[in-house]
């Protein structure tokens, strides 16, 4: 265990948490945020666009929006006049009622009855008292699939429990745990072999027949002062961005221990996030402590409502280890470290982002990431390896062609070779051998189109198309696509474009239908077609189709979108 890391970073962080807790004793609390893949996130994205000028939603550039905030905004009041500002479709009205049922701790009164179980249709067991709220739910997923040219069945079994609560309006807590048994599609198995990690999982066991056994454990405690402060200590994952992907921080990798402090002042929202990360050991044989690993990230995001419809953001993330100065855990972004540390961080990346809501029908967003950029050489045309940047541009439109609840999202992502990479596993932008940002790593260009249609609250359909071009490494050289490889193994310092190396092209097309049989109980059907071709090496070509049928309850759907 790294004692210096523990003393300087986590002791300091927990001290901040205790100080903020004492300040919050006279305030309310946030029980928790929406989890990854929550069914209400699509509605909240629509709501932000329809409201256009809501100062609370516009400040959020993260998918971990608090339940308290969502319920407060659901009053649909115009921020300037205080009167109703939008007219909801019938499906949106039903989604709003579902959101309120599923966040009963923040609703004054929920209609119900005297039954012990499912008194509120959203929760198996629920207790709601003036100073105490508690909800307990079973969690499970059964998914079976047939993959072309594969005699083995693809399946995913998961079972567990979730709970959350609020005590005295001051202390919020949540826990979620499942055990998962999964056989992946062939391209997923290829990914496990390449990265020695199951996507989204931490430690795992592999049994005969390529059956992967792993746990998904998430838990946290949180405090908040309304309209000012949110503090959370959790073992979970985070997402910073407005798109389907994020070039800053995504929820693709496994869970990690984190301390998150969100401060809301005036038109600003500042998030400071400490995370303990696992270095590049294989998930199947890593035996170290999951708390203190010698690798820590300090991430900051500043969000500003520049106008009533335009949000601008600044991002910085610093990876620290034994060889870097832990003074970089100072909770202010871009703070001068002279006098605090004589060492450089293992890795530092930064970026800017924006989001604009237009005409109550459209949203445009983007991110620009900088890992390293030598300005004096930016226009020399030599394709230098140390020009490591990424770009995202995206747009959403709701009620397309006048069809209610027909929404379209288009997104483009580009990341130059060697971005996020380093020369050792303690410095790269990865956790449990999985990318902390984009699942493709680096050295790629990607286009995404998602058509989402919800004709009623119970029925949801979607069509998703992901196209990408990615550079593939040769047997001897690293062309900058796999961020886990040392970039010192590059063949040269010049001549890098997107993509570099062997030119691979891929398509992942998914068509999905979900029907909500009962509150939070879904029947899913999905058809997936995936093609991957590398003209220079036909042995790497993979063409497959997967058809699946599943039943899940209180759990997000397992995605194979890489």
Domain containing 256: what range?
A: 3-553
Residue 250 lies in a domain: yes
Q: pLDDT tens for residues 218-270?
A: 999 988 776 678 889 999 999 999 999 999 999 999 999 999 998 888 899 99
CATH of the domain at 479: 2.40.160.10
Are 428 and 198 in contact by the 8 Å Cβ rule? The answer is: no
Which segment of 17-26, 517-526, 533-542 scores lowest on mean pLDDT?
A: 17-26
Residue 395 lies in a domain: yes
Residue 17 pLDDT level (bands cut at 50, 70, 90) = very low
Residue 558 lies in a domain: no
Residue 474 pLDDT level (bands cut at 50, 70, 90) = confident
Residue 187: what pLDDT? Answer: 94
Residue 24 lies in a domain: yes
Residue 75: what pLDDT? Answer: 64
211, 527, 556 from 524: Cα distances, Å: 22, 10, 11
Residue 559 lies in a domain: no
Helices (H), 359-454: none
3-state SS assignment for residue 100: helix
pTM greater than 0.85: yes
Residue 345 lies in a domain: yes
Closest CA to 558 of 142, 214, 148, 25: 142
Residue 154 lies in a domain: yes
Residue 427: what pLDDT? Answer: 86
Residue 562 lies in a domain: no
98, 135, 165, 168, 235 from 172: Cα distances, Å: 21, 12, 6, 9, 14
Q: Report the domain count for the chain.
A: 1
């Amino acid at each position: 265990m790294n004692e210096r890391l523990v003393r300087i970073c986590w002791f300091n962080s927990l001290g901040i948490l205790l100080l903020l807790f004492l300040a919050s004793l006279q305030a309310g609390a946030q029980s928790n945020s929406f989890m990854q893949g929550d069914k209400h996130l699509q509605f909240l994205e629509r709501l932000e666009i329809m409201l256009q000028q809501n100062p609370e939603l516009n400040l959020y550039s993260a998918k971990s929006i608090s339940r308290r905030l969502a319920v407060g905004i659901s009053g649909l009041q115009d921020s300037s006049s205080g009167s109703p500002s939008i007219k909801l479709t019938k499906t949106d009205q039903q989604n709003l009622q579902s959101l309120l049922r599923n966040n009963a701790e923040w609703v004054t009164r929920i209609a119900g009855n005297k039954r012990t179980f499912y008194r509120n249709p959203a929760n198996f067991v629920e207790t709601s008292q003036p100073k105490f709220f508690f909800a307990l739910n079973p969690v499970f997923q059964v998914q079976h699939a047939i993959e072309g040219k594969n005699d083995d069945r693809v399946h995913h079994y998961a079972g567990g429990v979730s709970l959350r609560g609020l005590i005295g309006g001051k202390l919020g807590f949540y826990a979620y745990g499942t055990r998962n048994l999964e056989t992946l599609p062939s391209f997923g198995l290829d990914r496990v072999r390449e990265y020695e990690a199951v996507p989204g999982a931490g430690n795992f066991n592999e049994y005969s027949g390529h059956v992967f056994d792993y746990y998904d454990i998430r838990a946290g405690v949180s405090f908040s002062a309304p309209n000012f402060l949110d503090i959370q200590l959790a073992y979970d994952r985070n997402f910073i961005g407005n798109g389907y992907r994020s070039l800053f921080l995504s929820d693709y990798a496994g869970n990690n221990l984190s301390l998150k402090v969100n401060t809301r002042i005036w038109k600003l929202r500042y998030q400071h996030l400490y995370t303990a990360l696992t270095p590049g050991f294989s998930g199947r044989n890593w035996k170290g402590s999951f708390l203190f690993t010698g690798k820590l990230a300090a991430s900051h995001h500043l969000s500003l409502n520049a106008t009533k419809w335009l949000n601008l953001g600044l991002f910085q993330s610093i990876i620290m280890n034994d060889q870097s100065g832990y003074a970089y855990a100072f909770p202010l972004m871009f703070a001068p470290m002279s006098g605090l540390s004589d060492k450089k961080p293992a890795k530092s990346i930064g970026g800017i982002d924006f989001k604009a809501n237009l005409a109550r029908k459209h949203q445009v967003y983007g991110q620009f990431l900088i890992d390293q950029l030598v300005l004096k050489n930016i226009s020399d045309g030599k394709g230098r390896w140390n020009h490591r940047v990424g770009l995202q541009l995206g747009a959403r439109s709701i009620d397309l062609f006048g069809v209610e609840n027909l929404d379209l999202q288009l997104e483009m992502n580009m990341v130059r070779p060697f971005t996020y990479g380093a020369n050792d596993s303690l410095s790269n932008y990865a956790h449990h051998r999985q990318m902390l940002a984009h699942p493709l790593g680096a050295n790629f260009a990607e286009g995404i189109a998602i058509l989402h249609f919800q004709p009623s609250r119970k029925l949801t359909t979607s069509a998703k198309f992901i196209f990408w071009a990615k550079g593939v490494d040769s047997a001897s050289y690293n062309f900058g696509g796999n961020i886990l490889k040392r970039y010192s193994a590059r063949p040269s310092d010049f001549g890098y474009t997107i993509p570099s190396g062997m030119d691979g092209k891929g398509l992942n097309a998914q068509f999905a239908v979900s029907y909500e049989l009962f509150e939070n109980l879904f029947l899913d059907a999905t058809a997936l077609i995936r093609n991957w071709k590398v003209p220079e090496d036909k042995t790497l070509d993979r063409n497959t189709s997967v058809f699946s049928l599943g039943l899940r309850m209180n759990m997000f759907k397992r995605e194979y979108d890489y």
